[in-house]
Structure 1
Amino acid sequence: MGNPLVSVVIPAYNRPDTLKIALDSVLAQTYPNIEIIICDDSTDDRVQEMLGPYLGSNSIIKYYKNERNLFLENWHKCFDLASGEYINYLMDDDVYHKEKIAKMVYFFKEFENITLVTSYRQTIDAYDQLLPPIDATARIYEETRILDGKMLGNLALTHCLNVIGEPTTVLFRKKDLTERYGVYKEKQYSLINDIAAWLSLLSKGKAVYISEALSYFRRHPNQNNNTLGLKAFSEWLDIMVASREDGFLDTNELFKTALHSYRERVKNYHEFAEDIKKIDIMLTTLD
């Protein structure tokens, strides 16, 4: 099978310093057949200026500066420009372990019906220092496992947590993502677009969870999770309901667990009053 082309796609935005670290981590990969697609949604030229020396000496890097801010469409642009059989997003403030791509491609080559490969991700701070895990990034298993896709999806849905990983964490086959990145059941999710993509992939096959840290998730004051705050939860209820069409949350008990988990997270916030009413009605019909 050789070494199929892997496209590392980076939707960049105003972070030249951390992007440089992220880019260096891709260039240090042990896997020999990679292209790097950078679509720059920045409001200034700092990213473009930082990339100047790289573009002159690395033919595997392809850079595109957007004429206007594309936001979610920038993610789609990255995907469309990718030529690889496999795609791995890389957030411009995260980092790859040098063997990430090689260790993940192995599972696609050696096992059948794999649609998603993820791993434990090590949390780091703004200065690359290791941090203890948060709830979502805690190690799921102590050993590497091949899992039923719906089982891994249910684990995320019943806890209302992205235990699968941020965009940086997951490698997938391009042809398997049949809806646009972040689109699930024809709805574009903006706050949990990664979960939407993962559920689409997990509905089609098996997943691999690698227990060693193959990527580094940076936590810092300016990242989206901090600026969005509680709003990041607002799309979970819709995706829980939609996921049942694909066989996720396929028993009443699993669905009730997911609804209770969501309700518990938002119960003290008045802006979620309508969601709580919907949940209470659904729970009544399930009893």
Structure 2
Amino acid sequence: MNNELVSIITPAYKAQHTILETIKSVQAQEYVNWEMLIIDDGSPDSTSEIVAQAALDDPRVRLIRQKNAGPAMARQKALDNANGRYIAFLDSDDLWLPQKLQRQLAFMSNKNVIFSYTSFRRIRSDGSGLGRRIRIPVSLDYNDLLGNTAIATSTVIIDRKEAGELRMTKTYYDDFVLWLGLLKRGHRAYGLDEDLMRYRVIAQSVSRNKKNSARMVWKTYREIEKLSLLASIKSFAFYAFNAWRKYRVF
């Protein structure tokens, strides 16, 4: 197990009610060599002030402000300022369990993995109601991922040294597009089937709008991945089934 720096990428917009708890979940990590880059995406609330105070108390927390440009550009700004070999993604309303970095980095080192993800459980917006464990496949290639919802953003760690340049695309599912781009290069994503993250379900979140989400997945297939109509239909059918199976029970 090495002691490489991990850069944690956290876009934040109107996150005043959750961001401090998210930061504390990082500070509670058993693995301590990290930097947390929080990009305040022009929040009109007190997100920046909360993060600024956290940064004063812990220099590993870094606040970067930008005009509102959306999560893709916020993540890209963080990537441009990241110093770590490993890039971990954590959304501003999600939480890590204390063993998350330690266990996942050990898994990556032992298995010689450059792109990994883990299983997790959902919680409600107020932090209550621990959901069932969301199990994950052992691994995914590009074609597998086209029809799967297995990779939760806040579980991902990427070895940037081995993966190469990471560039975000300004689109609705910028994270999904990034994963697809990495796998298209010939890499494979590997799952650590351990419960290491809490995904907060925000009722008003755009990602909970299933009709819009479905439309954006289709758009990703046709406009970004340039899949044929038949390939898009096939991938979408698998994607919809896996999404239903994943979300049918809290």
Shorter-chain TM-score range: 0.7 to 0.9
Matching residue's letter, 1:215: M
What is the aligned partner in structure 1 of residue 176 from structure 2? 195
- CA pair 110-223 structure 1, distance change in 2 beyond 3 A: same
What is the aligned partner in structure 2 of residue 285 from structure 1? none
User: SS state of the match for residue 257, structure 1?
Assistant: helix
Q: CA deviation at 1:201?
A: 2.2
| Aligned-residue RMSD, C-alpha | 3.0
Return the TM-score normalized by structure 1. Answer: 0.72
Matching residue's letter, 1:99: Q
What is the aligned partner in structure 2 of residue 277 from structure 1? none
Alpha-carbon distance in 1 for matches of 2:52, 2:76:
24
- Report if the CA contact (8 A) 1:122-1:130 is conserved: no
C-alpha distance after superposition, 1:148-167 (max 9, x if no partner): x41xx434423xx42121x2
Q: CA deviation at 1:53?
A: 3.3
Alpha-carbon distance in 1 for matches of 2:204, 2:78:
23
Alpha-carbon distance in 2 for matches of 1:220, 1:232:
15
C-alpha distance after superposition, 1:4-24 (max 9, x if no partner): 100011111111121011000
2:194 to 212, 216, 219: 212
What is the aligned partner in structure 1 of residue 203 from structure 2? 221
Q: CA deviation at 1:57?
A: 2.0
Alpha-carbon distance in 2 for matches of 1:41, 1:98:
27
What is the aligned partner in structure 1 of residue 69 from structure 2? 70
Alpha-carbon distance in 1 for matches of 2:151, 2:44:
33
C-alpha distance after superposition, 1:209-250 (max 9, x if no partner): 122211111002232213x542222233354466588xxx9x
Are 2:42 and 1:42 aligned? Answer: yes
Matching residue's letter, 1:202: L
- Report if the CA contact (8 A) 1:237-1:262 is conserved: no
What is the aligned partner in structure 2 of residue 173 from structure 1? 159
Alpha-carbon distance in 2 for matches of 1:85, 1:214:
21
Residue-pair matches, total? 238
1:139 to 135, 139, 146: 135
Q: CA deviation at 1:101?
A: 0.9
User: SS state of the match for residue 55, structure 1?
Assistant: helix
What is the aligned partner in structure 2 of residue 130 from structure 1? 129
Pairs within 5 Å for 1:42-191: 42-66=42-66, 68-71=67-70, 72-112=72-112, 114-133=113-132, 138-141=134-137, 145=138, 147=139, 149-150=140-141, 153-158=142-147, 161-165=148-152, 167-175=153-161, 176=163, 178-181=165-168, 183=169, 188=170, 190-191=171-172
- CA pair 263-195 structure 1, distance change in 2 beyond 3 A: closer
Task: Give ranges in structure 1 of 5+ residues lacking alignment.
Answer: 266-287
User: SS state of the match for residue 25, structure 1?
Assistant: helix
Matching residue's letter, 2:206: N
Alpha-carbon distance in 2 for matches of 1:122, 1:180:
28
- Report if the CA contact (8 A) 2:11-2:39 is conserved: yes
What is the aligned partner in structure 1 of residue 15 from structure 2? 15
Alpha-carbon distance in 1 for matches of 2:240, 2:60:
47
Task: Give ranges in structure 2 of 5+ residues lacking alignment.
Answer: 243-250
Q: CA deviation at 1:120?
A: 0.7
User: SS state of the match for residue 234, structure 1?
Assistant: helix
Percent of aligned pairs with the same amino acid: 23
- CA pair 257-30 structure 1, distance change in 2 beyond 3 A: same
Alpha-carbon distance in 2 for matches of 1:233, 1:207:
23
- Report if the CA contact (8 A) 1:122-1:131 is conserved: yes
